[in-house]
Structure 1
Amino acid sequence: RKVGDGKIGIILNLTPSYPRSDHPADVKASRIADLFFNRSFLDPSVLGGYPQELIDLLAAHDHLPAVREGDRELMKQNTIDLLGVNYYQPRRVKAKEHLPNTEAPFMPEWFFDHYEMPGRKMNPYRGWEIYEKGIYDIMMNLKENYGNIESFVSENGMGVQDEERFEQDGMIHDDYRIDFIRGHLEWLHTAIEEGCQAKGYHLWTFMDNWSWMNAYKNRYGFYQVDLDTMERKPKKSAHWFKEVSTQNGF
């Protein structure tokens, strides 16, 4: 709720779900993946309630959580003012090729299989797909289905292992990161031009950091961190992003 002139919000990992094809089974799989991973968080936070399709799906499998009197009204009265968006890669799915094991724990993957699209653009150092248009699709979804809520990109970036190999004259030349950021900013700018309320862009991360998943294996920052001396040095991307910020464009 509003606190003085402040705004209350949250940050969500929003990963668009793209179907393998236009076949109804693939489209249904994509829609269910979106229900579990995006709408189950977005709808209550922004719209004040859960999507009926998700409620029906969980009820059919006897997995609805306990709901007490007043819960729905409480949710409806406490939607957010501001949304942070974390986006790294798309989720590509297809219809299930095999029936799920109904004796196993109930999981979203009962309803879809992951799909590796041929010819996809990849971050070869991290093994993640790079799909810049995903950031546009997220913002357009917020505009069209979530009241065009005020938002910002809270996390976006790419991890690269052994970045020291790209060091020249005392600076890491991370042109791959510049290309990554530029591609996402172009699509974000397009979304803003089309009326989306995207107010900012934050890279993950300012300087190389420790990761819950892989410690210091991959580096993500604008600034290189020497783990032995703790010295911090700007990479080429830091200088580039400073210019972009100063000029408000590229």
Structure 2
Amino acid sequence: MYTFPKNFLWGAAASAPQTEGAASVDGKSPSTWDKWFEMEPDLFFDHVGPEHTSNTYYQYKEDVANMKAMGMNSFRTSIAWTRLLPDGKTLNAQAVTFYRAYFQEMIDNGVEPIINLFHFDMPWWLMEKGGWEARESTDHFAFYAKTAFDCFGDIIKKWATFNEPLVHIECGYMGDAHWPKVHDVKRAIQVAYHTLLAHAKAVKEYRNNQYNDGQISIILNLSPVYPKSQEKEDLEAANWADMLYIRSFLDCAVKGEFPHELVSILKDAQLSPTTEANDKHIFKENTVDFIGCNYYQPLRVQAPQSKKRPITSPRDLFRGYDWPEKRINPHRGWEIYPQGIYDIAMRLKESYHNIPWFISENGMGVSEETHYMDPQGIVQDTYRIEFVADHLKALHLAIEEGSPCFGYHMWTFTDCWSWLNAYKNRYGYYRIDLDKDYARTPKASRFWMADVIKQNGFE
């Protein structure tokens, strides 16, 4: 029997822009996703945009009732900056009413809300000023964070600043998957720096808030890095991948500083971000209480084909490696490697003061899940049950060895809208049917997980 600690948080994760819908009602202003869909709808799978996500804005009571019926004791989602402060300055009373009702509904039903502030949904008004490239964005974010703490800090006791900051940096400034679709490593580094400075300023606002009796965190995708071989060049490549993708965020959030090697190579490559003298003190004095870890698959790397200098992209330092022995999710194309969770836990234990943490996302995306639907309309997602069980076994071992992991949240509770992919890949315990007024139907994994939660473990 794999038994988990008392009061372990069993739940799921989601975000405001991927679930709420109602993207243009009750005072909400547009985010980059709203405007991008307006400009280039053909880029979005099945032409489904952020207006039509999971309709949670109107159906949150039904969702919370389903959480309670499942036995969940926690749920992580986010606040939409564009809803709470549509112009960045003026508090939207309708947003306060909605979020307080939503969060209180969870609390009243035994579900603890863990609330994140930013999940890739940059307000358009701020994007027009330069987004995260503009230093003023850090103060705007700090003000937004303070507003959220003032409005909800009496009932919300676990906060996060950002979800996976690497993603909006890499996908938006070194790729085309997020707006503004820029390919410029120097701009990406400035965006990364301002994002982490905004995070530290938000933590500072929390420490100074009247409602500071809870805890604050950041949610990072801590995909462990594995080299192709033990050859010097491959080990060096893995070190750089780890430093850019993991340590740059984790060191800053937990230790309040950036890796010295990283600072040095950026300086040598003339890629250092623009900073101000007091920034080091802001980082050092505003570290987190716990870490949220999103884990889906590992990062396997090898040496670059040539050592290009100056650096123009991460590929000049490392490149991907396709491990021939990998176990694959054939429905999504991602590697399945439960051992990664154990390795993350040991890394946090040995290098980051054994900081408390939880799995804030883990899950299996599957396209065309209707192929696995039985005559009763239930998706028989045994593949997801196996995926979760294998990862929980690895997590259980880490906890047995002293890791203070206090929860497991699957991505996601109900199928949700996923950026350019919309509803192509499904992740939820509940299926959502967009053609039937967003009807929620439980999948087989929902019943399996309800049993796990009831027993606080599984055999």
Q: TM-score, normalised by structure 2?
A: 0.53
Gaps of 5+ in 2: 1-202
Say whether 1:156 aligns with 2:341.
no
Q: What is the DSSP-based 3-state SS (H/G/I as helix, E as strand, rest coil) of the residue aligned with 1:12?
A: strand
Aligned to 1:93: 301
- Return the match for 2:441 from 219, 222, 233: 233
Aligned to 2:16: none
User: 1: distance between equivalents of 2:283 and 2:417?
Assistant: 35
Name whichever structure is richer in helix by fraction: 2
- Return the match for 1:65 from 268, 273, 276: 273
Aligned to 1:215: 422
- Return the match for 1:186 from 382, 387, 393: 393
Task: State the shift of 1:125 in Å.
Answer: 0.7
Q: What is the DSSP-based 3-state SS (H/G/I as helix, E as strand, rest coil) of the residue aligned with 2:297?
A: coil
Matched to 2:327, the amino acid is K
Aligned to 1:118: 324
Aligned to 1:56: 264
Q: What is the DSSP-based 3-state SS (H/G/I as helix, E as strand, rest coil) of the residue aligned with 1:41?
A: helix
Q: What is the DSSP-based 3-state SS (H/G/I as helix, E as strand, rest coil) of the residue aligned with 2:220?
A: strand
Aligned to 2:455: 247
Matched to 1:44, the amino acid is C
Matched to 1:119, the amino acid is E
Task: State the shift of 1:100 in Å.
Answer: 3.7
Superposed, 1:120-139 pairs within 5 Å as: 120-139=326-345
Deviations 1:99-133 (A, max 9, x none): 4485xx72112101100000200000101111111
Shift in alpha-carbon separation, 1:119–1:213, aligned structure 2, 3 A: farther
Task: State the shift of 1:5 in Å.
Answer: 2.7
Tell me which stretches of 4 or more aligned residues in structure 1 moved more than 2 Å.
1-5, 98-102
Matched to 1:53, the amino acid is E
Aligned-pair identity (%): 49
User: 2: distance between equivalents of 1:77 and 1:62?
Assistant: 28
User: 1: distance between equivalents of 2:224 and 2:420?
Assistant: 22
Q: Is the contact made by 2:269 and 2:309 (CA closer than 8 Å) also made in structure 1?
A: no
User: 2: distance between equivalents of 1:120 and 1:108?
Assistant: 24
Aligned to 2:282: 74
Q: What is the DSSP-based 3-state SS (H/G/I as helix, E as strand, rest coil) of the residue aligned with 2:397?
A: helix
User: 1: distance between equivalents of 2:230 and 2:260?
Assistant: 23
Task: State the shift of 1:67 in Å.
Answer: 2.7
Q: Is the contact made by 2:306 and 2:316 (CA closer than 8 Å) also made in structure 1?
A: no
The aligned length equals 248
Aligned to 2:383: 176
Task: State the shift of 1:244 in Å.
Answer: 0.4
Matched to 1:6, the amino acid is G
- Return the match for 1:200 from 396, 407, 413: 407
Task: State the shift of 1:180 in Å.
Answer: 0.4
User: 2: distance between equivalents of 1:233 and 1:18?
Assistant: 39
Aligned to 1:46: 254
Gaps of 5+ in 1: none
Deviations 1:189-241 (A, max 9, x none): 11111111111000000011110141111110000111211211111100000
Q: What is the DSSP-based 3-state SS (H/G/I as helix, E as strand, rest coil) of the residue aligned with 1:203?
A: strand
User: 1: distance between equivalents of 2:299 and 2:452?
Assistant: 29
Matched to 1:154, the amino acid is S
- Return the match for 1:109 from 310, 315, 334: 315
Shift in alpha-carbon separation, 1:202–1:96, aligned structure 2, 3 A: same
Matched to 2:313, the amino acid is M
User: 2: distance between equivalents of 1:209 and 1:38?
Assistant: 27
